[in-house]
Chain A
Amino acid sequence: MHSILKTSLAALVAAGVTASSVAADGHSLSGELNIISDMSNPAPRAVMEGMAADFDALHPELEVNLTIVDREAWKTQIRNALGANPPDVVNWYAANRMRPYVDAGLFADISDLWAEPAFDALASTKGAMTLDGAQWGVPYTYYQWGVYYRKDIFDQYGLSEPTNWEEEMANCQVLLDNGVKCYTIGTKFLWTAGGWFDYINSRTNGYDFHVSLASGEVEWTDPRVRETFANWRQLIDMGAFIDDHQTYSWQEALPFMVNGEAASYLMGNFAVAAMRDGGLTDEQLDFYQFPVINPDVDFAEDAPTDTFHIPSGAQNMDAAKEFLRFVTSADVQTEINSGSGLGQLPVNANASIDDDKFLAEGFDMLSNNAGGGIMQFFDRDFDAEMASVGMEGLQEFMVFPDNLDDILMRLEETRQRIYN
């Protein structure tokens, strides 16, 4: 894989079409480039090591030092690492997750990079990388969310992919009448309910409203939020979700779909690999974008994005920026997101993707049909504490929808405590 990447890069550098040609023409980079990465799982680790080696090979004067930290551990270590003796490049996440480090002045403002023409190809996530009107990092991978469904079951009952809420509910009623649950879900670890809220809220009230709610500008008791829950409740009252979902993890909810007891799953694209392992073929499995609820608002999609940032204390700013140009270039993004690498979606719209129908549909959806904006998922968009209280509330709502007033009051109290 490395050699392919190197060859393709060499070709591109020769053709002078990569963004890096700007610096390559001007002056060569020298000194050290220290990278701390959290890509610690086996496949991402190989990708990161490959990228660092290739970048090192491209810049003979530059010494690239890569440190890989356990992904979970990095979530607590990052603050230390950014404060004392900071590296030049670090991994992190988009949207509100950047907030603490932006507010503390630990991430460097890289709006000048985003102003370069090559970055127009990353427009889909520009909003997610923007805080306080400036950009603080670059994306290298993301994956789509959406409804994965059993096409064979849909065909059996003569159903087609719904495009609006009425069709969605009509499909669901047919399935329920035939003893099949519409959706499987496992809310034991709460976050899966966050996906449902993201979609119903953004389809009901739009991306901008969703973002305002996430940043604490709107009260949880607002009638628009209640409308979201009212829409959600229609499905709950129908019995659309599998029973006792609060006792399953997302993986433990898979058998319902694989065994045909439930027809669809609102989930991230990582679920596909698991479903294929469970024996579902690509003929049985298909994908559709979450349907329209309010025709006046544009599609907003959940696509959690992983990112690179430059600490404000970086020693080798030139090399760090050049590395960010490198990882966002179409060819590098194509290579690292391929099936042999991360197996996810490149953010660069000019990148190409593997021959996989779910990746193809997702890439098309996120690049062309997510005009509302890209959400980063409930627990990344909302403040961390708000998200944890919030997701508990969402789970409770799914099990006891009558408690809604109580839940909203509780979330509102939390919002006031956190954001004021």
Chain B
Amino acid sequence: MFPTPLAKTSRTWQISYQVLLPFALIVWLLPLIAVANFSIKPEADFVNGNYWGLPSSFEAFSNYGKVFFESNMPRYLINSLFITIPTVIGAVALSCMAGFALGVYKFKSNLPIFFIFIAGNFVPFQILMVPVRDLTVSMNLYDTKTGLVLFHIAFQTGFCTLFMRNFIRALPFPLIEAARVEGISEWRIFLFVVLPLMKPALAALAVLIFTFIWNDYFWAVVLTQGPDAQPVTAGITEFNSQFRAAYHLMSAGSIVAALPPVVMFFLMQKHFIAGLTLGAVK
């Protein structure tokens, strides 16, 4: 079932493992290495067919300079922040409250409502494309950051509520009962008893949702257009001019766009992994 720990295997296998590992790693990372390499190449290298070789001249400063100072990239990055942060706050706040209600109170439709939240996660989001687009158009939210934020909150809340409800279920219930005996109102129990206990779950969920939303491309393309509302994932295509694709600028732009989630991951690594496994083991 589990792989045998490496230390217990034969010497030959240990050596071949150590040889194979860096090789597999490089193959695995090849696309990323290519993008990083492209982002410091001059445009001429693409016309000459020098895709994989070393850059013929080092153009990192000029490429990244163009990304930051001669394109709409900063605008797109700000849009991404204005879309991602409200979504994280909205989805996490709503799902805490919904999770609290579903996890603590016993009422008849508790389970059905919970199932509805879960069922939402099983809907492939692509099939919602046309109705959601029509909805945002008729609500005058098409091509606005608000429209994107509202949709993301609505769609992420399903997963978040599942996560929060299960976490709250696992909290020691006597704590809540003790608070009730003291005559504390339910609202204050949520705020001062349950919420502090949920900090690890909040952090984990926030990091997870931040990455999800920051990396969203599909809805950004469906619901927004142009630098007024589009996030950075969709904005990168701006480096395609009418006739030519500027691979070097697109690569530099991609790296800039990928940095915030990566930084977030390293800063919050502990919470990120907790988020993926929380509730996996009772």
Q: CB within 8 Å of B: which residues of A?
A: 41, 44, 69-71, 73, 249, 251-252, 254-256, 258-259, 268, 270, 273-275, 277-279
Contact = CB atoms under 8 A, between A and B. Distances in A.
B4 to A, nearest CB: 43
Interface string B50-84: 10000000000000000000000000000000000
A279 B225 contact: no
A255 B44 contact: no
A251 B241 contact: no
A256 B245 CA distance: 18
A70 B242 contact: no
A251 B48 contact: no
Contacts of B49: 252, 254-256, 258-259
**Lowest 7 A-B CB distances belong to which pairs?**
A255-B49, A278-B47, A270-B243, A73-B225, A254-B47, A277-B43, A41-B241
A258 B244 contact: no
B226 A70 contact: yes
A278 B47 CA distance: 5
Given A70-B226, A73-B225, A73-B226, A274 B244 contact: yes
B125 interface: no
A93 to B, nearest CB: 12
Contacts of B245: 249, 251
Contacts of A270: 242-244
Given A270-B244, A274-B244, A278-B47, 4 more contacts: A251-B47, A255-B49, A258-B49, A278-B48
Contacts of A44: 242
B48 A70 contact: no
A275 B46 CA distance: 10
A258 B49 CA distance: 9
A255 B243 CA distance: 17
Nearest to B237: A72
B226 A278 contact: no
A275 B225 CA distance: 32
A278 B50 CA distance: 10
B242 A41 contact: yes
A268 B243 contact: yes
A80 to B, nearest CB: 10
A255 B225 contact: no
A57 to B, nearest CB: 27
Interface residues of B, number: 14
Contacts of B46: 251
Nearest to A253: B49
A342 to B, nearest CB: 10
B243 A279 contact: no
A259 B49 CA distance: 8
Contacts of A258: 47-49
Contacts of B50: 255
B247 to A, nearest CB: 8
B48 A279 contact: yes
B128 to A, nearest CB: 20
Nearest to B46: A251
A73 B50 CA distance: 33
B242 A251 contact: no
Interface string B237-259: 00001111100000000000000
B244 A251 contact: yes
A278 B244 CA distance: 13
B48 A255 contact: yes
A275 B47 contact: yes
Nearest to B49: A255
Nearest to B70: A42
A197 to B, nearest CB: 20
Given A70-B225, A70-B226, A73-B226, A255 B242 contact: no
Nearest to B245: A251
Contacts of A259: 48-49
Which of B44, B49, B241 gathers most chain A CB within 10 Å? B49
A59 to B, nearest CB: 29
20 contacts: A41-B241, A69-B226, A73-B225, A249-B245, A251-B46, A251-B244, A251-B245, A255-B47, A255-B48, A255-B49, A256-B49, A258-B47, A258-B49, A270-B242, A270-B243, A270-B244, A277-B44, A277-B47, A278-B44, A279-B47
A394 B243 CA distance: 21
Interface in B224-243: 225-226, 241-243
A274 B226 CA distance: 26
A268 B242 CA distance: 12
Nearest to A44: B242
Contacts of B226: 69-70, 73
B104 to A, nearest CB: 48
B240 to A, nearest CB: 9
Nearest to A73: B225
A291 B242 CA distance: 28
A47 to B, nearest CB: 13
A192 B245 CA distance: 16
B242 A274 contact: no
Nearest to B226: A70
Q: Which residue of B44, B47, B49, B245 has the most chain A CB atoms within 10 A of its CB atom? A: B47
A279 B49 CA distance: 12
A12 to B, nearest CB: 30
Nearest to B137: A80
A256 B244 CA distance: 17
A370 to B, nearest CB: 22
Nearest to A143: B243
